Structure 1
Amino acid sequence: MTAIRWTPLNEPGCGGWLTSVAVSPHNPRHVLLGGDMLGIGLSTDRGDSWQSTFGLPSWEIADFTFHPTHPRMVWAGTMSGPCLSTDGGRHWRLMRNGFPPTSDWHYSAPIQKVLINPRYPDHLIAFGGSHRQWHSPGEPLWGAVWESKDGGNRWRRIGTVAARHPGNSQSPGGNIVAVEAAGRTFTTFYAVVPGAGVFVSTDGGRTWQPRNNGLPHLQVMDIAVHPRAPHRLWVALSNYQAQPGQPVLPGGIYRSEDGGRHWKPSVNGLSTKNTTDPNLTARYEAIAVAPTQPDILLTADTAWDGSTLYRSADGGASWQAILRRQDVDCAYPAGLGATVIEFAPHSANIAFVAGSEYVLRTRDAGKTWIDVTAKRVAANSWRGRGFSGLCCVNFRFNPRNSRHAVLLAMDHGNFWQSRDGLRSWTWGGDGMPLWGGGNDVAFADDTGNLMFVTLGQFGNFEGIARSTDGGRSWTILAGTSHGLPERYDRAQPLGIYAASPREVWATVGGKLYCSSDGGDHWQVIHEGPGFSWIAPVSPGARAFYVCGESGVWFTSSGRELKLVEGSPKPCTWVAVDPLFPERIYVTAWRSAEYGGLWRYESGKWSRLRDDRYIARVAVCPTNPKRLAVSTSDHPYHDTCFATGVWVSSDGGSTWTQQNEGLACLRGDVIAFNPHDPTQLVFGTMGRGFFIGRWR
């Protein structure tokens, strides 16, 4: 078969949390972008478009460091350890010889940043942490300081920042969220740990002392060093609340002229608002100094009602607000919570700021900004630029309209639709919640005007959204008046299916609900347990299958359900062969006993593929021998077990891996286009959607 070549779907915006931006000191057109579970994007046109990157062991990214003399060599800190690229960031490999063995159950040795000795570039220091403060089970080696003298081929641990047991280089330490070297000697380093403050090492990273005199609290989130006066420092402080209900101490910017021995506030012109709510109290999580003009600084208040970017032209003596959220044209609604700020090494006029959902760039010293993850193509329509950070949940083609499709993802990815054959995308509409995630959509009429969407994530019920005008406006169905759980109850909704404009079924809280009046009223018709996704035998049929904890269930009438005898459990996805509806395919994701892909035909179950990380399966609408499966894994250990997309041309007897062009290999979503069966969509967990052609 011809290899499937995957390309980004180009849904708009990022939609996930950004953790780093880096502009190459060798080429201002060369930019790297990283996210908390989004992997890495590569741009060769200053961020106007983004290319996929490959080879990462997992996709939880921290900060970048370009080699001082080799333009194509760059390091990335990741939750899996230090990663190296020798082709400018397109391909990566994990470099942790000397680190503890990788763990299948947690992140063993996360790295926030690798620093390179400018005089002896084979001399590296790597620092254990995560500015995103990413969660991990177990005991990661937070605060660990690692040294390599051979370009990263071998590492040894030499120290610990914020050590619980001072004097012991192997002691557990604190989460290093930012680190900088002072000058070119590569002996003095500054590191910050939230809750512990600022630390300095003057012996190459072996020992560390706190330097917090003058700081109002220790919730330090970032540090910047003057490029020519290494004793001049700035730190960004978040806010601090000792106990819930007590006043919150605001954050701010503080400056030191003596290497951190003394700190003074640098807040003239900044918001210092304080309340009893940390989300509404001024907080600063990033500070950047322009390498070419170090009196120019940028920072941002990330409080929910702050959302303001500030610029200083006098080294922090005064600040001016230069950007507020309402001034920016973005596809996503998040506030201007800039937790990442980066100047271009060549010009103080060029800078990037990022947080959740989008990345902004200025090329005129902050006078104007554009979103480099999306571009508006019509009044309410957007198209992406190649880097999406969506955690994808579902993708549905409207079976009655070849130009209409809907993607569903977590957070603000809850509902985006295209009505021009996947060329541009429009979000939700009036009444659709801004966040909370979407799971499934039912196209309930021939026009695409009547749609139902299940909303909610992390076990919460956000309601069932109904639109009668093609998505321009929505009504949220929830509560006892509709026969449904109340909004925000612990009752995760997942699958939804409409046989007609009036007959609709949905799974909510593991139960199967039915409405016979177009969604106005619902009743439970089966208690489950653990009902999730629904697969009709054909569009409009009242016969369908439902996934459940005890296996796959079937109803021929939309009312009475029967467990299919011997089915794998839990059933996590079911697909019906469009040409032979008596044949179904079932997955049991991560089930120790039943994991893999199963086929049910003529009363018999057959296991077609023994891979417990298979998440979903799709059947070609015109050739039943063509099957495609997605594999997925959670993001909380060193190396991902998901292996991307596998396809079979012989009904599941043999399989080939088809990952060319995929920037992320973990993903739940796999779907054939019923109107163009050569087209496939794969939805990743953290890197958005991709499309490919199976010729």
Structure 2
Amino acid sequence: MISKMRAASAYPASVGSQKYAQFIVWWLRWLLALCLGLGGSAAAWAANAWEQTSGPEGGWINQLAVAPNLPTTLYVGTEGGGVFKSTDAGATWAPASNGLTRRLVAAVAVDPTASTTVYAGTSGGGVFKSTDGGMNWAIASPGFAGAYVLSLAIDPASPTILYAGTYGGVFKSVDGGANWAAASVGLTSTYSAALAIDPVTPTTLYVGTSGGGVFKSVDAGASWSATGLATGSVNALAIDPANPATLYAGGSMGILMMKSVDGGANWSAANGGLFQQPMSIAIDPAASSTVYAGTAGGLYRSLDAGLTWAQHGPGDWPSLGVRSVATHESNVYMGASGGVFRSMDSGASWAMANTGLTNSTVRALVIDPVSPSTVYAGIQAGGVFKSNDAGMHWSAVNTGLTVTDIRALAMDPSTPTTLYAGTWSGGIYKSVNGGASWTPSNSGMTTFTVLALAINPAAPAVLYAATNIGVFKSTNGGAAWLPSSTGLPAEYVYSLAIDPTSPSTLYAGLNTGGIYKSTDAGANWTVSRSGGEVAPLVVDSAATVYAAVRFVGLLKSTDGGASWVSAQPGLPDTPYALTIDPTTPSTLYAGASDGVFKSVDGGAHWSAAKTGLANIALYSLAVDPVTPTTIYAGTLGSSVFKSTNGAVSSESRLLDLALAVGGSPVAMTPRLVPAR
């Protein structure tokens, strides 16, 4: 609100004129309510700076929970998109994160007697609670509000009793999250990754730890003792609801899956045919000999109580990691790297169930310069998605992509249907038909970890790939690659940028080695600024370069990297994404851990430009080359957002007009921004 506005830096207007401006804002809003205009339609003025597009759908799911008393209601906790809810057994989803200030949700638990009471364990924000089915959330973890919560469990007999497993041990609440107390006596390893409660005797519970195996409590968490599995890291636990003395533990214990039939006193291997470390375990409540294990390599199923396992689930989705499995009657749900998958026939057939689940982490964005309504998004663990209508609809274009962890995209500016995708472990893929199909393009590559791509705008057959061991170069459109790292340290190269006015000049941002420069098309490199993790990098002209250095901030060079100065004022932290308006190079956009920031003076000052996009981390940005007031933002766990007005909110536009009416200069930089 205007009453909470502050100046991002010194502003010449007096306090009196500020109050007068606030009155003018109120007056202008009243006029808007009467639809009197103000130089445009009321709808245009009322718009947020950013609106979420329809996708891409999918993204990493950390936990999937079925409401015990209303099994068509499901909740998922995501990697960065908060909580989503389905009321039709996963057919459709809607965001359910209002008030959830920490959006990385590692654990979700639903009250077994009231499906509208839900708890979310967050990364660095403690526990949140909703009593209206996820419509609104409030912090519910006094005493450890900043904790990293890894697991949650609710007492089925007394749902106001709940337990939270954190980096620092187990905490317990007996009043529905209003108060918490430490409950870790006897735990020699406090990293509490998994919790399980005996459904028949809820005072008995188990915790899986890092390095200490499984611990057991028989007094509702008052004290813990080691079980027969006293070593190794346990990521997942499950108790047989038909026979609570039987439990399964999955993790890195030398043996991937262990089983106990005597309440943890003794354990035996239960991993025949299991080749991946379990991240989640679920037991079919109707047939306890059927057990599911979610792993980094997909879903496994055992039909003989863990004696033997076979890979199960959707076979047409590559690189599928499964962090959560849940069952209800014949329904089986997977929370995976590609979103939610479900089977309605006990696993006989599977289908993706991501409608409305806008939870993708977008590592790269490219816009077709000839037809700018065509946009591509590279998804971490999700492949490539394409929109032909400026983000209104998205569809996966992954045919031929056997690895879908996308870290970079590049487009041939002269032939926009030619694209390149850099992946985390599959190298480079090329498409010559607008993403309809992809083929590997790795000849000569000696590594398959690709973190950035750059194309020579004057000669698009020349492109560069930043990898974990240096830079590679192709001069024939990716048909063959050669190392191009002379002078570079042998380490991760996180970012690459080509000088658009002198394409033989390149800059590389390294993992620890700082910024390097080449003036001979990558043949040789020399240090420009030593030290620091550098990403992103962008070049404005032959002499102006911007580089984000972790723990240092955004830097700017106006002499081709010979010297660097801070361009950080107004930014809350080192940006993860950076882009330049191609028509007005003094206008920049930076994506940070808390939304988008904008500079109109070449980085001298920054102001918040995140209305509609607050509390969301950014990984990628792209400006429409034809209509540069249209910007796309790729997020951590919230898919793609779009601004069509240069990331200007109605609040800032009204304030500028009010200051103009009040006699204060409007073109000051930075403008007033909401207090954080």
TM-score (norm 2): 0.71
Match of 1:476 in 2: 441
Paired residue secondary structure (1:19): strand
| Paired letter, 2:152 | K
CA contact (8 A) 1:441 1:451 kept: yes
Match of 1:287 in 2: 282
1:34, distance to aligned residue in structure 2 (A): 1.8
Any residues of structure 2 matched to 1:537-552 within 5 Å, and which? 537=500, 542=503, 546-548=507-509, 551=515
Q: For the residues of structure 2 that align with 1:473 and 1:173, how far apart are their CA atoms?
A: 46
Q: For the residues of structure 2 that align with 1:349 and 1:342, how far apart are their CA atoms?
A: 11
1:286, distance to aligned residue in structure 2 (A): 0.8
Identity %: 19
Q: For the residues of structure 2 that align with 1:239 and 1:605, how far apart are their CA atoms?
A: 47
- Is 1:333 the counterpart of 2:333 in the alignment? no
The structure 2 residue matched to 1:232, chosen from 220, 236, 244, is 244
CA contact (8 A) 1:6 1:693 kept: no
Unpaired segments ≥5 residues, structure 2 = 1-44, 647-676
Paired residue secondary structure (2:75): strand
1:174, distance to aligned residue in structure 2 (A): 5.5
* Alpha-carbon distance change, 273 to 670 in structure 1, aligned in 2, over 3 angstroms: same
- Is 1:343 the counterpart of 2:327 in the alignment? yes
User: What are the Cα deviations for residues 559-589 of structure 1, in whole angstroms up to 9, with x where unaligned?
Assistant: 7999999999876334456xxx578562424
CA contact (8 A) 1:512 1:525 kept: yes
Using the TM superposition, name which of 401-410 and 190-199 deviates more. Answer: 190-199
| Paired letter, 1:439 | A
**What is the root-mean-square deviation in Å for CA atoms of aligned residues?**
4.7
Aligned residue pair count:
586
1:179, distance to aligned residue in structure 2 (A): 1.4
Paired residue secondary structure (1:572): strand
| Paired letter, 2:217 | S
Paired residue secondary structure (1:542): coil
CA contact (8 A) 1:9 1:691 kept: no
The structure 2 residue matched to 1:146, chosen from 171, 178, 202, is 171
CA contact (8 A) 1:180 1:191 kept: no
| Paired letter, 2:76 | L
Paired residue secondary structure (1:352): strand
Match of 2:580 in 1: 619
Any residues of structure 2 matched to 1:65-464 within 5 Å, and which? 65-67=109-111, 71-80=115-124, 81-99=126-144, 102=146, 110-116=149-155, 118-119=157-158, 123-129=160-166, 140-141=167-168, 144-160=169-185, 163-164=187-188, 172-173=189-190, 175-183=192-200, 186-193=202-209, 199-210=215-226, 212=228, 221-224=236-239, 226=241, 232-238=244-250, 242=254, 251=257, 255=261, 273=272, 279=275, 285-290=280-285, 294-295=286-287, 298-300=290-292, 307-309=299-301, 324-325=312-313, 328=314, 332-334=317-319, 339-344=323-328, 348-364=329-345, 366=347, 368-373=349-354, 385-390=356-361, 392-411=362-381, 413=383, 415-418=384-387, 421-422=390-391, 423-430=393-400, 432-435=401-404, 437-443=406-412, 445-446=414-415, 448-456=416-424, 463-464=427-428
TM-score (norm 1): 0.69
* Alpha-carbon distance change, 649 to 91 in structure 1, aligned in 2, over 3 angstroms: farther
- Is 1:62 the counterpart of 2:106 in the alignment? yes
* Alpha-carbon distance change, 147 to 605 in structure 1, aligned in 2, over 3 angstroms: closer
User: What are the Cα deviations for residues 202-242 of structure 1, in whole angstroms up to 9, with x where unaligned?
Assistant: 322112345559x999968322353xx7x634423448775
1:10, distance to aligned residue in structure 2 (A): 1.5
Match of 1:533 in 2: 496
- Is 1:486 the counterpart of 2:446 in the alignment? yes
Q: For the residues of structure 1 that align with 2:64 and 2:442, how far apart are their CA atoms?
A: 41
Paired residue secondary structure (2:275): helix
* Alpha-carbon distance change, 552 to 182 in structure 1, aligned in 2, over 3 angstroms: same
CA contact (8 A) 2:192 2:207 kept: no
Q: For the residues of structure 1 that align with 2:231 and 2:465, how far apart are their CA atoms?
A: 52
* Alpha-carbon distance change, 537 to 211 in structure 1, aligned in 2, over 3 angstroms: closer
CA contact (8 A) 2:238 2:247 kept: yes
1:74, distance to aligned residue in structure 2 (A): 1.4
| Paired letter, 1:175 | S
- Is 1:32 the counterpart of 2:75 in the alignment? yes
Q: For the residues of structure 2 that align with 1:284 and 1:150, how far apart are their CA atoms?
A: 30
1:112, distance to aligned residue in structure 2 (A): 0.8
Q: For the residues of structure 1 that align with 2:530 and 2:209, how far apart are their CA atoms?
A: 51
Q: For the residues of structure 2 that align with 1:113 and 1:217, how far apart are their CA atoms?
A: 21
| Paired letter, 2:635 | T
- Is 1:504 the counterpart of 2:448 in the alignment? no
* Alpha-carbon distance change, 189 to 320 in structure 1, aligned in 2, over 3 angstroms: closer
